[in-house]
Amino acid sequence: MTRPLIGITAGLRKVKASVGLEPAHTVWPAYADMVRAAGGIPIAVLPGDPTEAEAVLERLDGILFSGGGDVEPARYGGEMRPRVYGIDAARDEFEITLALAAHSSRLPALCICRGMQVINVAFGGTLIEDLLDDDGERLQHWVDGEGKDQNVQHEVSVEPGSATAKALGADHLLVNSIHHQAVRTPGAGLVVTGTSHDGVIESLEPEDAGWPMWAVQWHPELLGAGDEPSLRLFKALIDAAR
C-alpha cells in the first residue's frame, strides 16, 4: 500500500550551533513520529513565498499545520499582550495562504494548536490573545516543563457523531494543556466540535463535509502512538490522504 506524503509546517527558531545561536526552520520530531506511526511519510514544509503555496500542495497527499509561536494579533483585529510571543509575519502569511489553498483543493489537513488558530484566522475567525488575561474562570491550559507530556490535564467533550469524534473514536477524552491562546470566534464555514469544561474551544471541523480537515487545540503528537485517540486522529489524516 502506498504511503502518502504528509507535509508538516516548520517554524523559525534559534538553535545552538558552533557559531552560537542561529535561526533555523524546525519541525518537532513528535509530529514526524506520529505521521510515520500512522502510515505516512513526513516532509517539512518551509515558510516562503505565498505564491508557492499551491505548487507545494500539489506535491503533497496531506498537510499537518503544526504548533509554534502566536499568530500576529493584527491579522484578526486583536491586541498585543505581554505574553504574545514568537510572531513570524512571513510564516503567518504563508500558512494562511496554504490553509486557503488546502480548502480549495480539498487536501486532507490536520491542524494542531497554532495550526488550529491559523486555520481559524484564515477563514476570518478571531482568537483569545491570552487565556490568562481573558475574563472568566479558566482551567490551567498552559503547562510547561515536564508537565507538557501528561495526558491528564483536562477533559474535552466532543460533539457525538461529528467528524472529529469519528476520527478520535471518542466523544470524551483527557488531553494535555500547552497553549495560552484559543479560538474566540470561529471562522466562516468552521464548526465547533469540542470544548473543555471552562468553555474553551478545543476542536473545529469544516461545514464542508467534502474537505477532510480536523483542528484540535491540544497536542496529540506529544501524547504519542500509545494514546489511542491520538493515533486514530493521525490515521484519519493518513487514510484521507490515501
Q: Tens digit of pLDDT for each residue in 42-74?
A: 999 999 999 999 999 999 999 999 999 999 999
111 is catalytic: no
As a whole number of angstroms, the distance between CA 6 and CA 95 comes to 15
* From 95, 111, 113, 129, active-site residue: 113
Its pTM stands at: 0.93
Instruction: Give the domain CATH number at 154.
Output: 3.40.50.880
Picking from 72, 154, 66, 152, the residue whose alpha carbon sits closest to that of residue 111 is 66
Number of domains into which the chain is organized: 1
Picking from 174, 167, 176, 173, the residue whose alpha carbon sits closest to that of residue 237 is 167
Q: CA quadruple 180, 185, 189, 193: dihedral positive or negative?
A: positive
The pLDDT tens digits for 170-227 are 999 999 888 889 999 999 999 999 999 889 999 999 999 999 999 999 999 999 999 9
Which residues, in sequence order, are CB contacts of 22 under 8 Å at separation 6+?
Answer: 14, 15
Classify burial at 79, counting beta carbons within 10 Å of its beta carbon; exposed 0-12, middle 13-18, buried 19 or more.
Answer: exposed
219 is catalytic: yes
| The pLDDT of residue 1 | 72
| Apex 45 CA angle, 48 and 56, nearest 5 | 75
179 is catalytic: no
Range of the domain at 16: 5-241
* From 95, 129, 202, 221, active-site residue: 221
User: Which residues share a beta bridge with 128?
Assistant: 182
As a whole number of angstroms, the distance between CA 108 and CA 40 comes to 13
Give the SS3 label for residue 215.
strand
| The pLDDT of residue 96 | 98
Determine how many CB atoms are found less than 10 A away from the CB of residue 197.
11
Cα 180 from chain centroid (whole Å): 14
Picking from 225, 222, 227, the residue whose alpha carbon sits closest to that of residue 147 is 222
The pLDDT tens digits for 101-150 are 999 999 999 999 999 999 999 999 999 999 887 665 565 565 554 444 54
